Amino acid sequence: MGAESLKVLLSMSQTRTAEVPLAADHKVWEVHRRIPSPEHVAEARERIKGPSTHKDWVWAKETLLLDALIAKKSDVEVEVQAIQVGPVVCLSNPAEYFVSYGLQLKKRSGFPITFPVELANGCVGYVPDEEAFGAHGGGYETRLTSYSNLEVTAGTQFMNVGLELAAKMKPAPLLERPNGPAGKPWAYGDQPPQLK
């Protein structure tokens, strides 16, 4: 382990530079919540009167919690950030974000290395992709609850804002990793098993 550490330290000293572009930008805006129908709220009020062991009791409770949240404020303030360190950009959002958005961010950011960062600067709950709300979608993340309630396009909005912020930045090229010190690798740990 000591030899490997030394190789890493030596290679790091060859790639240090003070010419790494740093940048940061952000956008804050309001996103609408999905609002349960009055019939759905009325059904939830009736269901919550029943036993908490009923399979739909939790969903009814969540509907009533969401209804109370909406009564206070029907929109949610969100923030998306882009932070650049050389060839790396971190694109943040305040959601438990579906992986499909992260993959699109990596593909479309224009940076050699892109890190989607979720649950940053707040928590707005689950934000499924639009496909999950379609005919073949579903799952607990798409259920209308106090934790999953932003408008269907919220995830796309987060992604597009992140990409717009990244597009204002100029990615640095990846540095080439130098080769380790010349010579044979340390063979001390390269030994066959010993059974007796």
Q: How many domains does the chain have?
A: 2
Residue 187 lies in a domain: no
Q: Which residue has the tokens 């796309």?
A: 156
Asked if the structure places residue 2 within a domain, the reply is: no
Query: Do both 25 and 44 map to the same domain?
Result: no
Does 68 share its domain with 154? no
Tell me, what's the pLDDT at 166?
98
What is the rounded distance in angstroms from the CA atom of residue 169 to the CA atom of residue 165?
7
127 and 59 within one domain: no
For 98-150, what is each residue's pLDDT tens digit?
999 999 999 999 999 999 999 999 999 999 999 999 999 988 899 999 999 99
169 in the same domain as 108 = yes
| Identity of residue 112 | P
Same domain for 42 and 131, yes or no, is: no
Task: Say if 140 falls within a structural domain.
Answer: yes
The answer to whether residue 186 is domain-embedded is: no
46 closest CA partner among 54, 104, 13 = 54
Is residue 1 domain-resident? no
Residues in Cβ contact with 23 at an 8 Å cutoff, skipping those fewer than 6 apart: 82, 83, 84, 168, 169
- Yes or no: say if 7 and 185 are a contact pair by the CB < 8 Å rule: no
Whole-number pLDDT of residue 177 = 65
Residues 109 and 23 in one domain: yes
Average pLDDT over residues 179-190: 65
Residue 4 pLDDT greater than 80, yes or no: no
Q: Is the pLDDT of residue 31 over 60?
A: yes
Structure tokens at 31: 């996103």
For residue 43, give its domain range: 36-73
- Whether the per-residue pLDDT at 157 is higher than 90: the answer is yes
Please report, rounded to a whole number, the percentage of residues in the chain having pLDDT higher than 90.
72
- CB-count burial class (<10 Å; 0-12, 13-18, 19+) for 27: middle
User: Region 170-191: what's the mean pLDDT?
Assistant: 72
Higher pLDDT, 170 or 181: 170
> Mind listing the pLDDT tens digit for each residue in 49-59?
988 888 899 99
pLDDT of residue 50: 85
Cα–Cα distances in Å, from 28 out to 52, 135, 148, 159, 183? 39, 32, 20, 13, 54
Please tell me whether residues 148 and 164 are part of one structural domain: yes
Residues 112 and 158 in one domain: yes
Per the structure block, which two tokens stand in for 184? 């044979």
Sign of CA dihedral 89, 93, 99, 105: negative
Same domain, 50 and 134: no
Indicate whether 69 and 92 sit together in one domain. Answer: no
pLDDT greater at residue 182 or residue 112: 112
97/58 same-domain check: no
Domain presence at residue 163? yes
Is 188 part of any domain? no
* CA neighbor of 121 nearest in space, from 76, 156, 163, 68: 76
- Domain assignment present for 48: yes
Which string of DSSP letters, residue by residue, matches 13-59? HHH--S---EEEEEEEEEEEBP---HHHHHHHHHHTTS-TTSTTHHH
What is the average pLDDT across 152-171? 98
**82 and 29 within one domain:** yes
| pLDDT tops 90 at residue 8 | no
pLDDT for the residue 97:
93
Q: What is the pLDDT of residue 68?
A: 96
For residue 170, give both structure tokens.
């100029």
For β-strands 75-85 and 22-32, DSSP reports them as: antiparallel
Give first-to-last CA distance, the chain, whole Å: 26
